[in-house]
Amino acid sequence: MWFKICGKYPIGGVELCFYFIVWLSHSLLAFLLTTNASRSVGHWLDHWLEPSSYSRTIRMDNSDIELKLFRQSLPNVLGAFAINSVVFRLVLRLGMSKNGRSLLLISVWFALNAYLASVRCLLLVIFATFLILSVTLLSNCQLFAWAFAILAIAKVSVWAPFSSDPAKYYREFNFYLYSAIKAINLSVFLVRNRPAIRLDFELAMEFLEYLLYPPFSTALIVLFEDFRCQFRQVNQQISRLKMSSLFWHAFRLLFWFFVLDFLLHLCKANAFFNSPFSLLEHLNHYEVASIAYVVGHLFHLKYFLIFGIPSLFASFDGFHSPGAPICVARVAKYSQMWRYFDRGLYNFLKEQLYIPLITFGAFSSVHRQIGPNLATIFLRHFVPMFAVFAFVLFWHGLSPNYFCWVSLSATALIAERIGQSLPKWHTIWPNCSEATFVRLKAASMLFTVIPGIFGIFFFLGLNGVGAFVFRSLLLDGLSQILSLRIFSSNSAGFVLLHLFLLGFCFNNVCLFIDAKLAPAQQRKNGKGSEKNE
């Protein structure tokens, strides 16, 4: 069976099996070491523990504030989304006029969002959005929308009104942030389509529908053009196949919800990353690496739920939302992390910022006049990339941790792009076999994996935690490897060398998975393009 799965892949089944065993065994070992480290620190992390929702005698790690507020908001969110789906289906069957249907849905969606957030929050967002759109129409320029949205994102906690209830504060904060993105999308739509669109009551209703549709209001980013197109094509009946996929989607969410809860009862990985880094200094290098690895998995599961629940209800309503975040356990190319983790944000940045800057007249004319030299390549490709990362930095917050994360992530992507531009191994080494080529590719991918992974530790940890992991594992490890101090199993050099070998096996696993998933993904994309045509 295994050899049949491997098929015509260049590397043989036995070697691939070895890589999978190494990867899976080390993943399991990381969870075991994290659990052991959680017990070894005694009561130092107890202030993060709270009584379990399953039993008052059991305690769980509740140090992730975002996850805690998400859990508190879950009953309200599920109730509001369920009401929306029922009302939405009923309204579609009433046979009302388009404007009448829009007015009814907008009224219901306003009430549901007011329940989840607050009336003043909604009124402020609607007023600010239409103010931005008015300036955009008068100036025929989208720069004001970008500037206002970036300022709003950076200073929303200062100038915006919030409720005192923490869970409602969390929902209001997300509503403000995602509405800023929607304001940009609407402004870009107006500027790009100004000659072709009619500024009438119907368009204003479509703008309000886009702003207020509950599943897309606080978690998922969808372009206005996509929302508008999908809304016009929503079917009144849900096919049996669609229902089966919805049940499978719901089952996966429920399953991983309990897996996440189980892990939070079992270990205190999040608590380590939300505590001063001095606590990590008392652990050995393997325990530090294991905790960092587990925190990444917990983060993925959290966002699988945060994105997955509104996506489930949007699918029930007939919309196609951005896909689930890619599993971090199979990402060796960090371009995939940016592309497939927050797919809505990636699509927004690509369509509204990166591609427009690449095709910007000044960049294109310089590229044509001077030719594809190093300066023009930098101007045309890396300036847009830096603009994208600058927006990401504003989106997440202007802190040293996030700056380090963005810098290391950019380094990983630049290294990947440089690797793609270099001559292929077959050009340098004509007699290189396909299997050897795959192994060399897996080894070279360490140059992109290392900055990407260590950058994420800056993103996930409290100030100082990411820097400690970066220094104790990578910098100290490299120093000891270069000085050949690698013969003690407790040394950073030995651990880092072990991680390099593990990374080589991991990269081979990821390359195999990508090779096997690529044909299915191409078929899926092909069907999607045919459908769109």
Q: Tell me the pLDDT tens digit for each residue of 150-190.
A: 888 888 888 889 999 999 999 999 999 999 999 999 999 99
Cα gap 1→4, rounded to integer Å: 5
225-267 pLDDT, tens digit each: 999 998 888 766 666 557 888 999 999 999 999 999 999 999 9
Q: Which two tokens stand for residue 423?
A: 């001559």
315-337 pLDDT, tens digit each: 998 898 888 898 888 888 888 88
Confidence band (pLDDT; 50, 70, 90) for 531? Answer: very low
pLDDT exceeds cutoff 80 at 426: no
The SS3 of residue 92 is: helix
Mean of all residue pLDDT scores within the chain: 86
SS3 of 247-289: HHHHHHHHHHHHHHHHHHHHCCHHHHHCCCHHHHHHCCHHHHH
Do 117 and 348 meet the contact criterion of CB atoms below 8 Å apart? no
Confidence band (pLDDT; 50, 70, 90) for 528? Answer: very low
Lowest-confidence range among 328-337, 415-424, 479-488? Answer: 415-424
pLDDT exceeds cutoff 60 at 45: yes
Do 461 and 288 meet the contact criterion of CB atoms below 8 Å apart? no
pLDDT at 1: 52
64-107 pLDDT, tens digit each: 999 999 999 999 999 999 999 999 989 888 878 888 899 999 99
pLDDT at 361: 55
Cα gap 273→277, rounded to integer Å: 8
501-513 pLDDT, tens digit each: 999 999 999 988 8
pLDDT exceeds cutoff 80 at 488: yes
Say which DSSP state 43 is in: T
pLDDT at 374: 57
Confidence band (pLDDT; 50, 70, 90) for 310? Answer: very high
Spatial CB neighbours of 29, under 8 Å, sequence gap ≥ 6:
290
pLDDT at 362: 53
Return the higher-pLDDT residue of 56 and 32. Answer: 32
359-413 pLDDT, tens digit each: 765 555 555 555 555 556 666 677 888 889 899 988 888 889 999 999 998 888 8
Neighbours of 199 (CB within 10 A): 11
pLDDT at 285: 92
Cα gap 7→10, rounded to integer Å: 9
pLDDT exceeds cutoff 70 at 526: no
pLDDT at 369: 55
pLDDT at 368: 55
